[in-house]
Amino acid sequence: MNLASRVFLFAYAVAMAAVAAGYFTQYSHSFWPDTAVTAFFYFILAVGYAASRDRERAPTPVWLAIAFLSLLLLATPLLEAFSQDRAGLEELRPFFMVTTGVLAYLVLAVFMLRDFRLKEARYRLRRILVPAALVGGASLAFSSLFLAINDKYTGWNILLRKVNWITAYINVGAPPIFGEKIEWLQPIYAPGGYITYVLAMLATVAILLWLFAGRMSIDRSRDSSLLTLPAVIICLAALWVTTDIFWGWHYELSDTRWAAVLATVLWLAGPLFGAVVLVPLLWKRRETWRLRAFLLLQVPLAAFNLMQLVAYFGRDSLKLEGLGTLIIGLQLESLACLDLLALRAKKDLALVNSGVNTSGGEGRHSHKAPKERSA
């Protein structure tokens, strides 16, 4: 990861820690650990990059282990559910299921981060898992069209502009019922969710058409010239939604104006950094460090959103099933797309190593590929 990216990561962690401090000062009686945990994750990564002897290398496994172990604190709601005297199996089951899903996601992310650095790709398992993740994720994303995303309104209502995206009404500058509303922040939150949702649906259709045209083969899909653009859109849409909903849960910050403004800056900065990292893959297809940096940016936000799924389903839920299925679906699609982008990068790098350029011609003097920079 280059110097600018490491500086951003450190500033992002410090700013999120400041928001967590402001949130705790305002609501110490009901403080969630999520903002502090997320800030700690980014801070450990920033320190890990700074402590690396080689500026171009990623943090050592020790720093990554500390960062990922910190995310286990997101399971605090499960521990609280255990502490309730009236909590029975029926009450604990959703917490168990969600916590298991988050742990599975973290394990998968760790394996993907490690595999981005391998010289040889492991294709056998990918041939099964990647198409399944794409189809399953697309099915869940499409189901949000018929389920509630904003109160009783479905995804179709949002696409037809009958209702706005949920964070246009509930965000760090607009509490749902009580509290001070920061009016001048509202135009910032209004358009992003709708645009992202439309692009996510269109890119999902393109991904499925592209996958079925390749007969569900990741080898054929990987070689398709139509791979990169919809894959990048899916990844960015997944990051936007997780970032958007993460800060949407912090609506109580509206009573602390400076924290609300800083949270809004972070809300915009995360996806913007993701775009800066990922969009160059449209022409720099061998730079897998970009995939690694993007995944590290997304993991804590996604883990938080997955933990909150218990609030979207069940007897006492918010009845936002469509939002829940959309988050799960986009995460599955995003992980699969990152994997396909990594496979394409490995193939291009292998062609360069063999003296063949990526446009199909022979490289007479290309006997050795330049060493790829890692994250």
Instruction: Tell me the pLDDT tens digit for each residue of 220-278.
Output: 655 566 778 899 999 999 999 999 999 988 888 888 888 889 999 999 999 999 999 99
Examine residue 362 and state whether it is found in any structural domain, yes or no. Answer: no
Amino acid, single-letter form, for residue 220: R
CA angle 273, 277, 280 (to 5 degrees): 135
Examine residue 70 and state whether it is found in any structural domain, yes or no. Answer: yes
**What is the pLDDT, as a whole number, of residue 143?**
94
d(CA 226, CA 243): 27
Examine residue 361 and state whether it is found in any structural domain, yes or no. Answer: no
pLDDT digits (tens, 9 = 90+) for 148-180: 898 788 999 999 988 889 988 888 888 877 777
d(CA 64, CA 179): 39
Examine residue 172 and state whether it is found in any structural domain, yes or no. Answer: yes
**What is the pLDDT, as a whole number, of residue 259?**
85
CA angle 224, 117, 101 (to 5 degrees): 85
Q: What is the pTM of this model?
A: 0.86
**What is the pLDDT, as a whole number, of residue 369?**
44
Q: Which tokens sit at 71?
A: 């995310």
**What is the pLDDT, as a whole number, of residue 236?**
96
Examine residue 186 and state whether it is found in any structural domain, yes or no. Answer: yes
**What is the pLDDT, as a whole number, of residue 362?**
39
Closest residue by Cα to residue 196 from 327, 88, 287: 327
**What is the pLDDT, as a whole number, of residue 146?**
94
The whole domain housing 345 covers: 3-353
Report how many domains make up the chain.
1
The DSSP bridge partners found for residue 210 are none
CA angle 278, 282, 289 (to 5 degrees): 45
* Residue segments in the chain with a per-residue pLDDT below the cut of 70: 1, 26-32, 52-58, 76-92, 116-124, 214-225, 285, 314-317, 347-375
d(CA 73, CA 295): 20
Amino acid, single-letter form, for residue 175: P
Examine residue 371 and state whether it is found in any structural domain, yes or no. Answer: no
Examine residue 370 and state whether it is found in any structural domain, yes or no. Answer: no
d(CA 319, CA 152): 8
Q: Which tokens sit at 31?
A: 């403080």
Examine residue 141 and state whether it is found in any structural domain, yes or no. Answer: yes
